[in-house]
Structure 1
């Protein structure tokens, strides 16, 4: 079936943007906001119309979803409903009210690692961004989807993971005394506290090679 032209102005901007992604960008490829502006000159909020396609099952990743992208890039991952024909907005979209509720429930921290927005990761100068992710959770023999607050690293690295309560409980029973107490402290505080050695390791990894050799010497180790 031949697709309509994305340049046909009888279609709205969102429909034209969808056709542009399919026929010009192509699934799996990267595009930028500047390319959107160039494709739709004089059209206000054309990039927003591209984002609206997510409500129709289109997967368009940003740097928050794909660590290989920078802030100006997006990746057209997969086509959703053919909005240029007929489409129904999906109710699975996370509303702003739901987003605020989940962030408030999770203390505005990543549920996976406990980092807060704007806080630097220990092993880099990269700062965390907190958003909402969907996670599959097994409980009592059934599986449900739960909304959780997660940072950009945990969301990208944990895509497709499924939490299993029974497996977690079994692992708890296998912990030794010190490990069990450490986990209990983290659970009680609802936050993982990095120890002094872990913090130093993160700072060590940010040093240039010649500086790391000085640290190795201080520890009685040969140069790398």
Structure 2
């Protein structure tokens, strides 16, 4: 980074993080510039240019492969319409932030800038905060070989819980959780109607006792 700042001259911003962001912003255009987070053999603060990508002298920027609406619905349905990373649902507040509201999108397990595809196996539901532009700085996701030592330290009951979640494809939620997730997708009017219906059901059940 010091060499880069020197090459850019005195007019370049002297903020190292600003230059880091500018370099990382090249990745969506096909530039491969790994750091120590991608390759531990690199010294901290060093980038390596592996491949040159698009630049304005090459003409119009190539269009990216879009994710179809049908594929987006399949990903959302498969992931129970919750962020695969943090578990938040669409429109829900983040823990400790009652005024926040999560927005879901479809992200790539391995970001496109790191070679990820748009195949279903590489797509997952993510909230905007967990989406891959934020995760690009973390490098490639963890592998099974890296995870197994931690898994082997779990107790039997913890292993059984983890197994049940993996087999279900999600952290297992009870029927009330599932009903709540579905209710949040209703229109405002339908949610109000459901609230009234629930009140009637509870009041009726109470009167019958």
Q: 1 or 2, which has the higher strand percentage?
A: 1
The TM-score range, normalised by the shorter chain, is 0.3 to 0.5
- Give 1 or 2: higher helix fraction: 2
